[in-house]
Amino acid sequence: MFSIGDFARLGLVSVRMLRHYDAIGLLRPAYVDPVTGYRSYQAAQLSRLNRIVAIKDLGFTLEQVSAILDEKVSTEELHGMVRLRRAQLEAQISADLARLRGVEARLRTIEREGHLRTPEVVLKNVSPIRVAELSARAASYEPEHIGPVISPLFVEICLRVEAASARVTGPGIAYYQEEDDGSVMVHACLPVAAPAEDAYDFQIVDLPELPTAATIIHHGPMEAVGPTFQALAHWIEENGFRSLGLAREISLHCPDNLDEWVTELQIEVTPA
């Protein structure tokens, strides 16, 4: 038997926590001295304590922890819960980091307002092109929603195109379509020389011509694309055009170092 203090130290919890668990019936002491009221615990009770702490740290309330334990959760089921929660936390961390990077990029844009040299904008015709593509939905066009969707799509389309032995004919292309509910369909593409009628585990799509596109080169990660987009917006307005739809993104150079990325933005325009 262990005193409550010793048991707390062995279980890596506080005495106050053990007293609370006792009060709500979640983990009763093995023995309570009728005279002194001192609580004593057995080593075997560490197993229940471990489950209580693990399930609580998954985000469940103590009432829910009690109900789960009463259902006799197995070690395998507990591992499954932990894996699920870990995936949820990792996704949340990724989303929060993307949101933070977006805020920082927006602040840099604000700081540079009125002090930037306008990058060169080129007006050109973009020819139609055949691509292999995979698509998925993002909650919105905000970078924090686009990033977690487009990156896995590009990884997957590269693997599938390589497995199909389709010949890649140019750099990767991303394009987007707004939906009525505010979400965005994200398309990750690789230009290919492949018959449209052949069966693949990806789509073969012919992207239409952009008769007149305002184009600009962005250097660095796409999370910091704000100033480049805004420079393009100023150019479009100042030169008497209006934009049609969302930009295509042409990945001209994509090394491991995101700061060295080179991306061409293409927005179809028409005279205002």
Band of residue 114 on the pLDDT scale cut at 50, 70, 90: low
Confidence check: pLDDT of 227 > 90: no
Please give the average per-residue pLDDT across 139-156, as a whole number.
88
Q: pLDDT at residue 187 above 90?
A: yes
Q: Does domain 2-73 have CATH number 2.140.10.10?
A: no
pLDDT at 112: 64
The whole-number average pLDDT for the span 114-119 is: 55
- pLDDT value at residue 117: 53
Note the pLDDT of residue 73.
65
Per residue in 14-37, pLDDT tens?
A: 899 899 998 888 888 998 988 898
Beta strand 184-193 with 2-3 is unpaired
| CA gap 61, 84 in Å, rounded | 17
Contact 69, 51 (CB under 8 A): yes
Q: Cα dist. 48→60, 65, 112, 138 in Å?
A: 16, 11, 57, 41
The 10s digit of each residue's pLDDT in 52-73 is 888 888 778 888 888 787 776 6
Question: Considering the domain 121-271, what is its CATH architecture?
Answer: Alpha-Beta Barrel (3.20)
Domain limits of the chain?
2-73, 121-271
- Please, what is the end-to-end C-alpha distance for the chain in angstroms? 84
115 has a pLDDT exceeding 60: no
Q: Which range is least confidently modeled, 150-154, 191-195, 225-229?
A: 225-229
The mean pLDDT value of the chain amounts to 87
Same fold, 2-73 and 121-271: no
Asked whether 17 and 57 are in contact (CB, 8 A), the reply is no
CB 126 within 8 A of CB 210: yes
